[in-house]
Amino acid sequence: RNDLHRIFEKLDKNGDGLVSLDELNWLLERIGVHSSPDELVSLVGKTSLDLIDFLFFYDAIIKQSNVEEANSLEGDLVKAFQVFDLNGDGYISCEELQSVLSRLGLWDEHGGRDCKSMINMYDTNSDGLLDFEEFKNMMLLTNS
């Protein structure tokens, strides 16, 4: 039996095979999903869930929170891209990259790696610039 079955059984305090919205809300609060009772009723569409309903609902909530997390990351990457894209043309040039890294104290002139080679590593269309998708790939690959 999997963890979700055990969670369901723990939530189903009176053992009737149903989890009330209060019990469901208690679980959601624990995993960081905050809903008002009215929101929960409109989300669930009923006042209690059997095991099958619970599994579907839990799966949907987790998928939704993963989507929100991904959107939040995308938003952060857009902001970071805008910091580097000094002239606002939608591309990061070698000069822009070097300028921002210098201001952040992250540019080592004696490090031997010039900004062209840094850009070339992620510049998939070989135009000598980083567009947003290339920048995003660079950030996601260097942080993983």
Rounded Cα distance between 100 and 85, Å, is: 9
Q: What is the per-residue burial (b if ≥16 Cβ within 10 Å, else e) of 46-57?
A: eebbeeebbeeb
Q: Based on the domain organization, do 107 and 130 belong to the same domain?
A: yes
Q: Based on the domain organization, do 28 and 62 belong to the same domain?
A: yes
- Each residue of 51-65: pLDDT tens digit? 999 999 888 888 888
pTM of the complete model: 0.58
Domain that holds residue 48: 3-71
- Each residue of 2-19: pLDDT tens digit? 888 998 999 998 899 999
For the chain, the domain total comes to: 2
Task: Show the tokens assigned to 68.
Answer: 């929100």
Q: Based on the domain organization, do 90 and 112 belong to the same domain?
A: yes
